[in-house]
């Protein structure tokens, strides 16, 4: 293979002559440019440079083999410039360091802190907020913005968790709670806890092991992972990371304008033993993510990333249709049911009328969700609408024990939140950001630690509420008189705002 100098690669950075370095090899992408599923602009932006890091965050390795023909590889760089090695090292204080070593041009080894060099020990993480506090400091600011952003003025994002503060308990006493069973079933799969990790795209932005780490952590904890369509690892890699062959996994599905492509994804899901197909229905276009809107930065928000994945057409909202079909409607459900036996669940239901329609159209369930407050600002919090959804389904004659399951996500940060959602009728709850933050800070171990914290909190709530098993959790155990009252003053949360946020890293903390 021809050896090519970096200087030479740098000269090929124009539309009619464009080269890129990926994993030490040089590719001539001039002919591929118009066909790139992510559009031309990102390749033009990175033309003549080493794009390995940007590529690696949002593609699985097999993409190269699938999309680039062998004659596009025209050589390798000399010396091999960009071997990125991820070293997980334990030092004396039992802290985990995640470091990338990049062999530089001059052949000097230059350790570059990838996300963290020194962080508090994992044992110091005592709740979901602690992880966010550390993640905020160690993640690249672009990645943190992408994870933490909500839409508009973040009203819905904040309300998602705040609404749980308006539900109070009616504890039961004198019940033998020496043994508590938290296990339940979700879509027929036995789980140790009524909690799953929801789909969040591009998990490699959090950690190099991305969705594979989530697969292992959820497997070890006996809970379910919902795999995103826009994963940074391939479906085969993620299902291949199961800790045993029976480990249940679900797939979140963005329905493409190219229905053949959607059908292929579903077939692949069937082949890989996926047990639930969660069709996202709250994202006909990308919501206005407020946190960072610098269009030049491709990781600024999902819209920005979408630009990489779909095509360049100016604003994020008119790019998305190329990938997610905005014409998706109730008539399509019959088509999904005709092509797969995997149970179909709609993710992103936001009012009781649609819950009833989902049931009438033969879906196996719904997720009350507003995409973690990343879509329509002022959409209600899912927990607020849960009681009316359950009432409507019962009123219409839906058999909630047999035919239809209601899940909920958004703002779940405490074991007590899980209890409240279950009391109001949810079969299980999903978490998005907490898992991302834990993954960013401590990888797979961090996610397991997070799940253990939530498990302990939930178990404690069950005991203090006088409930021995999931079926004992009833609607009359919560007081929801204030739930609909959005104007109730929420006292400032000093604990999370001032105490947890002040967790300081040990030693110097550098950010890329």
Ligand X SMILES: Cc1cc2nc3c(=O)[nH]c(=O)nc-3n(C[C@H](O)[C@H](O)[C@H](O)COP(=O)(O)O)c2cc1C
- Which residue among the candidates 254, 407, 437, 442 is catalytic per the annotation? 254
Minimal distance, residue 44 CB to ligand X, in Å = 26
Q: Residue 370 class from Cβ within 10 Å (0-12 exposed, 13-18 middle, 19+ buried)?
A: buried
Judged by beta carbon, residue 227 or residue 477, the one nearer ligand X is: 227
For ligand X, the nearest residue by Cβ is 432
Whether 371 is catalytic = yes
Which tokens go with 246?
A: 């029976």
Residue of 12, 161, 371, 449 marked catalytic: 371
- Binders of ligand X among residues 220 to 249 (CB under 6 A) are 228, 230
Structure tokens given for 14: 């124009």
Active site residue 282: yes
Residue 50 DSSP one-character state: B
β-strands 195-197, 365-368 pairing = unpaired
Q: How far is the CB of 259 from ligand X (least distance, A)?
A: 19
Contact by Cβ (8 Å): 367, 350: no
Residue choice 60, 128, 200, 221 for contact with ligand X (CB under 6 A)? 200
Query: DSSP string of 134-190?
Result: HHHHHS-HHHHHHHH--BTTSHHHHHHHHHHHT-EE----S---SS-B--EEETTEE
Choosing from 166, 414, 433, 449, the residue that interacts with ligand X (CB under 6 A) is 433
Instruction: Give the residue with the Cβ less far from ligand X, 27 or 146.
Output: 146
Give the Cβ contact number of residue 5 at 10 Å. 11
Q: Does 160 engage in binding with ligand X (CB under 6 A)?
A: yes
User: Phi and psi for 500 in degrees, rounded to 5?
Assistant: -65, -40
Question: Is 252 a residue that touches ligand X (CB under 6 A)?
Answer: yes
CB of 365 to ligand X, least distance (A): 15
**Interaction with ligand X in 270-299: which residues (CB under 6 A)?**
280
CA angle 253, 256, 261 (to 5 degrees): 90
User: Is residue 81 near ligand X by the rule CB under 6 A?
Assistant: no
Nearer to ligand X, 77 or 274 (CB): 274
Q: Minimum CB separation from ligand X for residue 237, in Å? A: 17
Alpha-carbon distance of 38 to 56, in angstroms, equals 14
Residue 335 tokens read as 């088509």
Residue 29, token pair as written in the block: 């992408």
**Residues 461-490 within binding reach of ligand X (CB under 6 A):** none
Q: How far apart are CA 167 and CA 484, in angstroms?
A: 10
Count of positions on this chain that bind ligand X (CB under 6 A): 23
436 within 8 A of 444, measured Cβ to Cβ: no
Binding positions for ligand X, 354-413, rule CB under 6 A = 369, 371-372, 374, 409-412
Question: Binding marks (x or -) toward ligand X, 318..357, rule CB under 6 A?
Answer: -----------------------------x----------
Could you tell me the smallest distance in angstroms from the CB atom of residue 431 to ligand X? 5
Q: DSSP secondary-structure letter at 496? A: I
Residue of 282, 301, 377, 409 marked catalytic: 282
- State how far the Cα of 301 lies from the Cα of 440, in Å rounded to an integer: 17
Site membership for ligand X, residue 18 (CB under 6 A): no
Cα distance between residue 450 and residue 377, in whole Å: 28
Is-catalytic flag, 161?
no
To the nearest whole angstrom, how small is the minimum distance from the Cβ of residue 283 to ligand X?
7
* Identity of the residue, 51 or 231, whose beta carbon is nearer to ligand X in the bound complex: 231
Q: Cα–Cα–Cα angle for 330, 331, 335, nearest 5°?
A: 115
* Site for ligand X, rule CB under 6 A: 146-147, 160, 198-201, 228, 230, 252, 280, 347, 369, 371-372, 374, 409-412, 431-433
Catalytic residues: 254, 282, 371
């Amino acid at each position: 293979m021809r050896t090519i100098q970096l200087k030479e690669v740098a000269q090929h950075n124009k539309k009619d002559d464009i080269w890129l370095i990926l994993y030490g090899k040089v590719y001539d992408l001039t002919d591929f440019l118009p066909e790139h599923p992510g559009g031309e602009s990102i390749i033009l932006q990175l033309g003549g440079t080493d794009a390995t890091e940007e590529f690696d965050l949002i593609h699985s390795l097999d993409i190269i083999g699938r999309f680039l023909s062998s004659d596009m590889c025209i050589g390798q760089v000399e010396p091999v410039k960009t071997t990125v090695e991820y070293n997980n090292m334990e030092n004396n204080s039992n802290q985990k360091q995640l470091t990338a070593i990049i062999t530089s041009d001059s052949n000097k080894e230059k350790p570059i802190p990838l996300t963290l060099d020194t962080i508090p020990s994992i044992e110091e993480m005592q709740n979901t907020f602690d992880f966010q506090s550390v993640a905020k400091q160690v993640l690249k600011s672009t990645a943190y913005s992408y994870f933490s952003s909500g839409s508009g003025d973040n009203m819905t994002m904040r309300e998602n968790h705040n609404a749980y503060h308006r539900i109070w308990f009616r504890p039961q006493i004198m019940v033998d709670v020496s043994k508590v069973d938290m296990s339940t079933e979700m879509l027929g799969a036995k789980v140790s806890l009524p909690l799953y990790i929801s789909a969040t795209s591009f998990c490699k932005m959090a950690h190099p092991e991305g969705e594979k780490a989530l697969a292992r952590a959820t497997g070890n904890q006996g809970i379910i992972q919902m795999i995103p369509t826009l994963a940074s690892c391939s479906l085969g890699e993620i299902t291949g990371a199961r800790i045993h062959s029976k480990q249940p996994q679900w797939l979140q599905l963005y329905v493409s304008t190219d229905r053949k492509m959607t059908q292929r994804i579903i077939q692949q899901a069937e082949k890989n033993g996926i047990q639930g197909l969660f069709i996202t229905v709250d994202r006909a276009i990308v919501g206005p993510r407020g946190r960072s809107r610098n269009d030049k930065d491709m990781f600024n928000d999902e819209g920005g990333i979408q630009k990489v994945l779909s095509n360049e057409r100016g604003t994020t909202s008119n790019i998305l249709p190329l990938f997610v079909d905005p014409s998706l409607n109730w008539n399509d459900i019959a088509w999904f049911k005709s092509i797969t036996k995997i149970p179909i669940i709609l993710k992103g239901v936001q009012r009781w009328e649609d819950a009833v329609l989902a049931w009438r159209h033969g879906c196996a369930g719904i997720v009350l969700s507003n995409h973690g407050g990343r879509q329509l600002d002022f959409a209600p919090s899912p927990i607020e609408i849960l009681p009316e959804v359950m009432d409507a389904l019962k009123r219409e004659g839906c058999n909630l024990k047999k035919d239809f399951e209601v899940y909920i996500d958004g703002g779940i940060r405490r074991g007590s939140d899980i209890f409240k959602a279950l009391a109001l009728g949810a079969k299980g709850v999903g978490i998005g950001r907490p898992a991302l933050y834990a993954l960013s800070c401590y990888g797979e171990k961090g996610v397991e630690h997070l799940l253990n914290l939530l498990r302990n909190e939930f178990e404690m709530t069950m005991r203090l509420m006088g409930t021995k098993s999931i079926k004992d959790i009833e609607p009359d155990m919560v007081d929801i008189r204030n739930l609909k009252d959005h104007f109730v003053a929420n006292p400032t949360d000093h604990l999370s705002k001032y105490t947890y946020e002040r967790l300081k890293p040990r030693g110097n903390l550098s950010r890329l």
